[in-house]
Amino acid sequence: MPERRVHIAALDGLRGFAVAAVLLFHAGHLRGGFLGVDLFFVLSGFLITGLLLGEVAGRGRIALAAFWGRRARRLLPALVGVVVVTVSATWSWSTSAQLRFALNDVPWVGAQAVNWHYIAEQTGYWNASDTRVFAHLWSIGVEWQFYLAWPLVVALTARGRYGEQIVALLAGSGALVSLALTVWLGAAVDTTRAYEGTDTRAAALLLGALVATAPVRGLARRVPRRAADLVCLVLACALAVPWAVTEGEKAPLLFQGGLFLPSLAAAALIVLMAQVPGTRAARVAGSRLPRRLGEVSYLGF
């Protein structure tokens, strides 16, 4: 469908805000900025599913090899560069222990499974950055695993009269299952499993996928622009406030389902911006600075 092919500047801007939040978190200036990763995940689920459904609508099928090839060309060169520079810098300036950990982690980074490597070693995200130079790549592993699995699901289910409804049902059900797993696994003392597991973090990606489907897009289009302006403001605040006040490992409920709420707010905000033209929130998000930051981000589309 043509609507899925339209580039929406506001979504680039949302990605830019997520980039800024994560950078400010790592600089020590935004306590909950790490939650920008969840906005990344929701955006990825929305954009990837939109591309896949658009291909089904236009061609009647999904060319999976071509899809995976495009993702590889978009992401792998930068990843290779990061690995080479990081290992070189670690060899030159870091301790022998850090270099040993880096070399041990490289095969897992290459296999796009470093998140499961850290889970197996119980290497918690919150205390890993001092010793594991690739600690931040756990989220890239989650994204890649989603890129491998979800297109297969869409390719098998999206065709036919009720294809998008089936995709919506699977995405919504999958998000709820992921939430249940997070509540169960997040009660452990070590939160690494809940925080970095592909199955537990799939909720955000699948919420994005859900709002990319025709049933949800149709509901969003019915919202009047004035109402959408107000709802978008509320949703933006629902994202910004946790970014400002949440303190990672000091917020245990975050790992027992709390991450679902910002992801849900992000999904609703994204679909309203995409389907209700001219909202103030979309104009702010699509302004030059956040849009440019989002366009140059690693996970841009």
Identify the three-state secondary structure at position 130. Answer: coil
Residue 220 pLDDT > 50: yes
In the chain, how many H helices and how many E strands? 14, 0
86 or 295, greater pLDDT? 86
Residue 2 pLDDT > 50: no
The pLDDT confidence band at residue 174, using thresholds 50, 70 and 90, is very high
Q: Could you read off the pLDDT of 230-250 as tens digits, one per residue?
A: 999 999 999 999 999 998 878
Residue 81 pLDDT > 80: yes
The CA angle 149-153-156, to the nearest 5 degrees, is: 140
Residue 224 structure tokens: 């009047």
**Average pLDDT of the segment spanning 256-266:** 95
248 or 68, greater pLDDT? 68
Residue 5 pLDDT > 60: no
**Average pLDDT of the segment spanning 77-103:** 94
The pLDDT confidence band at residue 298, using thresholds 50, 70 and 90, is low
pTM of the model: 0.94
The closest alpha carbon to 43, from 268, 278, 265, 205, belongs to 205
Residue 104 pLDDT > 70: yes
The closest alpha carbon to 139, from 260, 65, 42, belongs to 42
Residue 33 pLDDT > 60: yes
251 to 44, 115, 186, 266: CA distances (angstroms): 26, 21, 11, 20
User: Which amino acid, one-letter code, is at 263?
Assistant: S
167 to 6, 95, 271: CA distances (angstroms): 21, 49, 16
Q: What is the pLDDT of residue 169?
A: 98
198 or 296, greater pLDDT? 198
